[in-house]
Structure 1
């Protein structure tokens, strides 16, 4: 893959663009590191004894479900951690080999985390709503990523590859928005209505299986629609070569 003009392909970024990128990158870093950390340091059984809701749900499950849980949080964390690098314009243009290598790791991590997510969906805390929400999330996550891979691997279609990766990242970022929505919903219940923490969590978790990713996908589609009407992204000027 080559560039028609690598010196002019970098588009100046506004402060809004920079702020959005750094918010996404830093929030992704925080969740990718902090969310799996308790499970890396403490067993599910011990976390369940501490009344940790998710650990309580999975501590009594079969070994296969527990393995899927660990694969999901580990590989999902890797995908979340590395994905922002793929949207760094200068890295894409000036370090093409690194961009490709990181991209392969991201897609591989999504494949494992998505399949593990399908295994976990019927065993989630939210019941049938969670099975539908998280199951559909996993299917779309896998589908968008596979489409992005095929677009670049088979057709050398850089523009289509980028657009599908934007959609895939919107779903990857659900790991962040899930926790943001939980915080907002639980805080509102506790602060306004005085609901206890466990009840607030259970009620909030009935909404987040869809709330954590549907708005993300809507924002991604809006962003892509805006991109069609404005100056083409640097990647649209790339000419793919075998």
Structure 2
């Protein structure tokens, strides 16, 4: 049976390469993460779910009538995801790591706690997803992998295995960033019928789009993360020849 093999990379110094392109990429990730936090997370703390459902805001209509513990899990997921999205890019800021390692470690603790909180909330609300079984398995797998990769990143740094810690943090933030990519894929998929010359009606187009994003929002992110890990010479996974 084909299996994944973790391979040791080259020296961790390779991870510092990239120059201007790395800075531009980091800035893009940080700004888009903050934008999604401001646009998608903040409305949930300005009004009740029932009021937001009347305004057709985000997931409010899906969870407005849910049991209280599911609604509480939704807020837990939103808070954890928002904190993780906003603080995660700071962990990849080389200047912070080298000049203020103590700050880097504390932000890392906050980030991983936020991931754990957000993942547990995500696992709780996944069965209530409006995408049905696709949402349950897609978002459920995302939450589980989010939790596991965060634990692997923490375990690696506890062993002082910095290259493995860096690799697992890249994988983990790729999953965190699904909060951004989901909102990129949705409008693209909504417009897809028009591109292919098919009849377009919002409700059906949205239903089709939302049936795809539970997996599409994070699987390509993980593929890109693994490419980035290998490019930086960090411990990666590959299929045996």
2:177 corresponds to 1:173: yes
Aligned 1:111-150 pairs, distance under 5 A: 111-150=116-155
Which residue among 195, 208, 218 is the counterpart of 1:203?
208
| Closer, same or farther: CA 195–42 of 1 in aligned 2, 3 Å | farther
| Closer, same or farther: CA 194–43 of 1 in aligned 2, 3 Å | farther
Which residue among 189, 193, 196 is the counterpart of 1:189?
193
Which residue among 213, 223, 226 is the counterpart of 1:221?
226
Stretch deviating more after TM superposition (52-61 or 109-118):
52-61
Asked whether the 8 Å contact 1:190–1:200 carries over to 2, the reply is no
2:110 corresponds to 1:105: yes
RMSD: 2.0
Deviation at 1:15, TM superposition (A): 2.5
Instruction: Please give the TM-score of this superposition, normalised by the length of structure 2.
Output: 0.87
Aligned 1:53-68 pairs, distance under 5 A: 54-68=59-73
2:190 corresponds to 1:164: no
Asked whether the 8 Å contact 2:52–2:61 carries over to 1, the reply is yes
Deviation at 1:201, TM superposition (A): 1.6
User: Structure 1: which 5+ residue stretches go unaligned?
Assistant: 1-7, 233-242
Structure 2: distance between partners of 1:68 and 1:102: 23
Match of 1:51 in 2: 56
2:217 corresponds to 1:212: yes
Deviation at 1:186, TM superposition (A): 1.1
Alpha-carbon displacement from aligned partner over 1:97-118 (angstroms, at most 9, x marks no partner): 0000000000000000000100
Structure 1: distance between partners of 2:69 and 2:131: 20
Which residue among 82, 86, 91 is the counterpart of 2:87?
82
Structure 2: distance between partners of 1:161 and 1:225: 14
2:80 corresponds to 1:41: no
Deviation at 1:10, TM superposition (A): 9.6
Deviation at 1:137, TM superposition (A): 0.5
Match of 1:238 in 2: none
Alpha-carbon displacement from aligned partner over 1:54-83 (angstroms, at most 9, x marks no partner): 211100000000000011011100000000
Select the structure with the greater relative contact order (CA < 8 A; seq sep ≥ 6).
2
What secondary structure sits across from 1:228 in the alignment?
Answer: coil
Structure 1: distance between partners of 2:44 and 2:191: 24
User: Structure 2: which 5+ residue stretches go unaligned?
Assistant: 1-12, 236-241
| Closer, same or farther: CA 12–207 of 1 in aligned 2, 3 Å | closer
| Closer, same or farther: CA 19–88 of 1 in aligned 2, 3 Å | same
